[in-house]
Amino acid sequence: MGEEGMVSDEKITTVKTSQKLTLLPLIALIFYEVSGGPFGVEDSVRAGGGPLLSLLGFLIFPLVWSIPEALVTAELATSFPENGGYVIWISSAFGPFWGFQEGFWKWFSGVMDNALYPVLFLDYLKHSFPIFNQLAARIPALLGITFSLTYLNYRGLHIVGFSAVTLAAFSLCPFLVMGILSIPRIRPKQWLVVDFKKVDWRGYFNSMFWNLNYWDKASTLAGEVENPSKTFPKALLGAVVLVVSSYLIPLLAGTGATQSAPGKWSDGYFAEVGMLIGGYWLKWWIQAAAAMSNLGLFEAEMSADAFQLLGMSEMGMLPAVFASRSRHGTPTISILCSATGVVFLSWMSFQEILEFLNFLYAIGMLLEFAAFIKLRIKKPDLHRPYRVPLQTFGVMMLCLPPSLMLVLVMCLASVKTFIVSGAVIVTGGLLYPTLVHAKDRKWARFDADQPPLPPNNTPAEGLSGVSQQHQEVQDEAIVGLLSSSPSTRQESSEMLLEEDLKLE
C-alpha cells in the first residue's frame, strides 16, 4: 500500500512539474514531423523527369492529402487529448486489437522514418567532406548522431519544442535568401520542363507522399499540449502553410534560376544549387541548415514515437515499464527502444527505407480514416471540441481522395516492400495475443491505474464543459482496453464507451 502511494505521488509530481507545449513549439514540432524544410525533396525533380511534376505535386498534393489529414487529426486529437493519439482513436472505433495493430505499424514506420535523418545529414556533409562516403567514417558518425540526439530528447519535451522553433528559423533562412538572390536569374519556362520517358512514377509518388505525410504524429503528444482543443487546430493550420511554403520557394528558385539536368537532383543537391546561385558561402549555410533540420526532424519523430509507446502502456497495451518517466518527464525506456530501432535500420538505403515506411504508414492511415467515419456514424454525440464542418457524407468525400492516394502508393510498392511490410503486419498480429497472455499469466506488470488528473483535480484541458465524472469514465475506457479476460475485452470496451456517451 505504501509503495503504491509513493508511485502515485511520483506520478502526480511529474504531472505538476512537466511543462506543457504551447502554440509556437507545437507548430514547430508538427513542421518537423511532416517536413523540416526542403531537404530530401530533390528526388521529386529527378523522379518526375523535370521541375514541372515536382512543382505541380507540391501545389496539388497538399489539397488532396495534407489538408484532409490535418482536419481529421484536429478533430480526433481534440476529442481524445491523451498520449497515444491514433491508437486511442482506432481502439474506440474498432476495439483494442486493431488499436494495437495501428500503434505497432505506425511506431515501426516512425522508427524507419527516423533512421532516414542521420543518413540525410551525412548525405549533405559528404558534398564537402567526401570521407563520409567511406563506411569507416560513416558508421561511427551515424552512431554518434543517434546517441547525441537521443540524449537531448531524454532531457525534456519542452526543450525539444523550443529547440524546434530555433532550428526551424535557422533551417529556412538560407532558402529565403536563395529565393531572393534567384529572382533576377529566374526563367519561368524552365519550370515547365518534363520528360515523361524519364518519369519514375514509383519514386515520384513515394517522394511526394513522404514529404507531405505524418500530420497525425503530433496527436501522440496530445496529453503534453496546453489547452489542446484550441492549440491543435491553430498549430495544424500554421504548419500546413509553413510546410508548403518551405517546399515551393526553394524549388521555384532552384529549378527556375539554374539549368541543372533532372538527373542531378538527388539527396543533398540543394547545397550545390546554393553554390550556383549565391556562391560557396550559401552552400555552406545550406549544409549547416541541413544539419540543424535533421536534428529537429529526429527530435520531433523520436518524441512522437516514444510518447506513443508511453500512451499505449498507460492504456494497458504494453508493459508498465514503457510508461516510466525520467526526472525530466520523458519516457526513458520508450526513448531507448525507439533509438535502438533507428540504429538497426540506418544501414538501409534512403529509397528502401522510404518505400517501407510509406507502405506501413498508408495501411495505418486507411484505418484512421475508417475510424474517423465510423466514430461520426456510431458516436455522433462524442464530445468534439473541434469538429470538421461537414456532415457524414461530407467527411466521406473528404477522406476519399487521400484514401485513393494511399491505395495508389501501396500498389506501386516493390515485391521486397510487400514482403517486409507483410512480415511486420504478421508480427503485430502475433504480438497482441502474446501480450494478452503475458498479462493474464502476470509475466510482466501492466499499468491498470488511471492516468493522474491534472493539478487541483480539475478536468483535463481541452475538455471544458465536460464533467469530472465524464473524464473519469473516459480515462477508464482508455486504460481498460486491454482487459485481463480476453473473452470480455471487446464487450467491456463498448460498455464503457457507451456509458461515456450517456454522460454527455
Q: Indicate the helix (H) or strand (E) that contains 498.
A: helix 489-503
Question: Which residue(s) pair with 225 in the sheet?
Answer: 21
Tell me the DSSP string of 287-331.
HHHHHHHHHHHHHHHHHHHHHHHHHHHHTTSSBGGGG-B-TTS-B
The sign of the dihedral angle between the CA atoms of 492, 493, 498, 501 is positive
| Closest to 161 measured CA to CA, from 23, 339, 37 | 23
The rounded Cα 281 to chain-centroid distance in angstroms is 33
The pLDDT score that the predictor gives to residue 19 is: 64
Q: Which whole-number Å values give the CA distances from 264 to 46, 47, 94, 253, 259, in the listed order?
A: 7, 11, 47, 16, 10
CATH class of the domain comprising 2-503: mainly alpha
How many angstroms separate the Cα of 9 from the Cα of each of 3, 4, 310, 455?
10, 9, 18, 12
Domain ranges of the chain: 2-503
Task: Please state, in angstroms and rounded to a whole number, the distance separating the CA atoms of residues 231 and 81.
Answer: 11
Per-residue pLDDT 10s for the chain (504 aa) are 444 444 444 443 344 445 677 888 888 888 887 887 888 788 899 999 999 999 999 999 998 888 899 899 989 988 988 877 888 899 999 999 999 999 999 888 888 877 777 777 777 667 667 776 666 776 777 777 777 767 666 665 556 666 777 878 888 899 999 999 999 999 999 999 999 988 998 888 888 888 888 888 777 777 778 787 888 888 888 989 999 999 999 999 999 999 888 888 887 788 899 999 999 999 989 988 887 787 777 777 777 788 888 888 888 888 888 877 777 677 778 777 777 777 776 666 667 777 888 898 899 999 999 999 999 999 998 889 889 999 989 999 999 999 998 998 888 888 988 998 999 999 999 999 999 888 888 888 787 543 333 333 333 333 333 333 334 334 433 434 444 333 334 444 444 444 444 444
State which H helix or E strand residue 411 sits in: helix 392-411
Dist CA 166 CA 169 (whole Å): 5
**The predicted structure's pLDDT at residue 153:** 65
Contact 62, 244 (CB under 8 A): yes
- State which amino acid sits at residue 206: N
Whole-number Å distance between alpha carbons of 377 and 402? 20
Other Cβ atoms less than 10 A from the Cβ of 321: the count is: 16
DSSP-derived letter for residue 84 is T
**How far apart (Å, rounded) are the C-alpha atoms in residues 101 and 424?**
10
Strand partners of residue 342: none
Going by C-alpha positions, the residue among 435, 367, 430, 417 that lies closest to residue 216 is 367
Task: Write the DSSP assignment of 257-284 as a string of letters.
Answer: H----GGG--TTHHHHHHHHHH-HHHHH
The 10s digit of each residue's pLDDT in 471-493 is 433 443 343 444 433 333 444 44
